[in-house]
Amino acid sequence: MRAEKSRYFVRNIEEDIMYKILKAEKLNEIVYLMVVEAPMVAKHCQPGQFIIVKLDDAGERVPLTICDYDREAGTVTIVFQPIGASTEKFAKLQTGDAFEDFVGPLGCPSEFVNEDIEELKKEKILFVAGGVGTAPVYPQVKWLHEHGIDADVIVGAKTKDLVILEKEMEAVAGNLYVTTDDGSYGRSGMVTKVIDDLVAEGKTYTRCVAIGPMIMMKFCCLTTKKYDIPTIVSMNPIMVDGTGMCGACRVIVGGEVKFACVDGPEFDGHLIDWDLAMKRQQMYKTEEGRALLKEREGDTHHGGCGNCGGDE
């Protein structure tokens, strides 16, 4: 069941108004957290949505999932890992600096937002967060907790030093299971091993939400499928411009063309063609690959512009 798209697209178009950074923190060697003053965006945020950040006139548009929001304080929290020129510049910003553009909220909210709370309380929900994927998982778990629903959460990272938001997640999760690939903290092994272990221990789940690197989400879905656990994933990691016009986040879901930024970012993970999606991401990294994809995919190469049918 797909959540209703947000009705709100908030942007301050006054040239002299910037989005001030109230807090800039380095969570570990590769991940940064910022609390940004953006009252109109915060007013309409829902779990599962994302924003687009732009540092200045020359900066790139960078889509980032919302990690947290405070409507009363008028703030939105973002978490990111520098992987390009723009996010490298973001990492150098300090408290008191500001972004020129902070657009959102965009995308469809988590499906929980539009469901009956009393029916949700009857479910047993499992969240699986991998690496920076812990950031978009947190607001969903927090939202459920605020509505009297405690979900189990698996947080996975390569090493102890790369685990993020553990205390915050522990405060809102029913049960929190931390695992590291190298066994340096918490349980030892991949998040899929923890899923297997929990089921073997007698745990039963009616739904799973998995967010993290594509390869992690793929194998989470393979694992949950054998236990008949419906699974939602977020394809935010493959977004580039956040409008569907670049064609980067084109994905096949149940045999249909979808775009993470205009149709998602969340989809039924058991219906995604993961092998094709990962192969496509590798091709998209080069100019030649992008040209080939555009040629092969024709009118369905991009969506969201209103002309190609990709957003229908």
Instruction: List, for residues 118-177, the tens digit of each pLDDT value.
Output: 999 999 999 999 988 999 999 999 999 999 999 999 999 999 999 999 999 999 999 999
246 is in an annotated binding site: yes
233 labeled binding residue? no
- Check whether 80 is labelled as a binding-site residue: yes
Q: Is 90 annotated as a binding residue?
A: no
For residue 67, say whether it is annotated as part of any ligand binding site.
Answer: no
Q: How far apart are CA 121 and CA 27, in angstroms?
A: 33
Question: Tens digit of pLDDT for each residue in 290-308?
Answer: 565 565 556 666 665 444 4
- pTM greater than 0.95 (yes/no): no
Residue 108 in marked binding region: no
Buried/exposed 207-241: b ≥16 CB within 10 Å, e otherwise: bbbbbbebebbbbbbebbeeeebebbbbbbbbbbb
Domains of the chain: 19-106 (2.40.30.10), 111-233 (3.40.50.80), 235-287 (2.10.240)
